[in-house]
Amino acid sequence: MFQIDAMSRTPMYEQIKEQLEKFILNGTIAPGEQIPSVRSLSLQLSINPNTILKAYSELDTQGIIYSVPGKGYFVCENALDIVSAAKYDKLDELSAVLADMALAGIPKEEILQRVNKAYTKHDR
Amino acid sequence: MFQIDAMSRTPMYEQIKEQLEKFILNGTIAPGEQIPSVRSLSLQLSINPNTILKAYSELDTQGIIYSVPGKGYFVCENALDIVSAAKYDKLDELSAVLADMALAGIPKEEILQRVNKAYTKHDR
DNA sequence: TAACTGTTATATGTCTCATATAACACCTAT
DNA sequence: ATAGGTGTTATATGAGACATATAACAGTTA
C-alpha cells in the first residue's frame, strides 16, 4: 500500500502524510476506517517507529486522523473536507508556478493540455 | 534587487538562484552583463560569501553564468534558453499537482482562471 | 601599489531527519 | 489473568544539509 523512497529529497514522514492523504481522497481508505498501526507500518516499510509516529501525529493535529490508545489510528469523518481545504490553500503556489512558466515562454496550450488531462481522468 | 528570507524553508542559496533566473527571464539582467560580485552581494544581503558562492557555482555548472577570475561573474549568452528549458522540465511536476487538485475536487474553472491570469500579464 | 575580483580550504555551529532503545499505559482476545 | 497487540513518551545518537567564520592565494584593473 505505502511506498517510501528513502533517497528522495522530501522527508519520509512527509511522503507518508502525502500518501495517506491521497488514499483518503481517492477512497482507498474511508472515514472511520482504521489505518496501519505505527509498529506494523514501521516493520512493513523498514522505517523507525518514531518516523511513522511523526507523520501520524501531524495528521492528528490537522484533524485528519485520530488515535484511540490501545486500539489504533482511525480516519476522521470529515477528513475529506480537511484534505481538500489544504489543497485549496496551495492554489497561490500554483499561480506562482504558472507565472514562472508563462515568463519562460512555455505555450499556454501546453498548460491547458495538462489541465484537461488532469481533469478528464475522473469524469468517468 | 535581491531579497532573501532567512526564515524560509527553502535555502538561501536556492532563493538566490531562483531570483537570478527570474531576473534573466524578465530582462532585468541581460546576457553578457555582469552580476553582483560574491563579496558585494554578501555584504548587501548580510549573508556569508560562501552561501553566495554556492549559488553562483551551481548556476555556473548549469551554464547560466560564467566566472572570469579577477573580474567577476557574467550572464551567459544562451542563459535564457537554458533557464527556459529548466522550466519545461518541471511540467511533469505541474501535471502531478493538477492531478492532486482535480482529485481534491477543486473546480476546473478555478484552475483555468489562474492559467488565464498568468498568461495575460505579459500580453501587453 | 591598492582595491577590487574569483578560488580554495578548514573549522564550527545549528537544525532537520532518522535511527536505536526503552519504558509505560491501554485494549482485547485467549 | 496473561499475552500480545495498540498508542505514548522519553532520551540518546548519528548523518546530512545549511550557513557561518576565517583565512589565504591568485588574477584584474585603476
Task: Choose which CATH entry (1.10.3720.10, 3.40.50.2000, 1.10.540.10, 1.10.10.10) describes domain B12-78.
Answer: 1.10.10.10
Q: What percent of chain B is predicted at pLDDT more than 90?
A: 94
Q: A93 near B98, Cβ under 8 Å?
A: no
pLDDT digits (tens, 9 = 90+) for B41-96: 999 999 999 999 999 999 999 999 999 989 999 999 999 999 999 999 999 999 99
Looking at the domain covering A12-79, what would its CATH class be? Answer: mainly alpha
Chain B interface disruption, residue of A19, A20, A94, most B CBs within 10 A: A94
Would you say the C-beta of B19 is within 7 Å of strand C? no
* A123 confidence band (pLDDT: 50, 70, 90): low
Q: Which residues contact A27 (CB under 8 A, 6 or more apart)?
A: none
Residue B124 is predicted with a pLDDT of 46
Collapsing DSSP states into helix, strand and coil, what is residue B87?
helix
Written as one string, the DSSP assignment of A21-81 is HHHHHTTSS-TT-B---HHHHHHHHT--HHHHHHHHHHHHHTTSEEEETTTEEEE-TTHHH
What pLDDT, on a 0 to 100 scale, did the predictor assign at position A69? 87
Residues from A in contact with B at Cβ < 8 Å:
22, 25-26, 83-84, 87-88, 90-91, 94-95, 97-106, 108, 110-112, 114-115, 117-119, 121-122
**B26-43 pLDDT tens trace:** 999 999 999 999 999 999
Nearest chain B residue to A123, by CA: B102
Residue A115 C-alpha, separation from nearest chain B C-alpha, in angstroms? 7
Q: Could you give phi then psi for residue B72, rounded to 5 degrees? A: 150, -165
How many CB atoms are located within 10 Å of the residue B73 CB? 22
* Mean pLDDT of all residues belonging to chain A: 92
pLDDT higher than 70, residue A122:
no
Q: What number is the average pLDDT over the span A88-110? A: 96
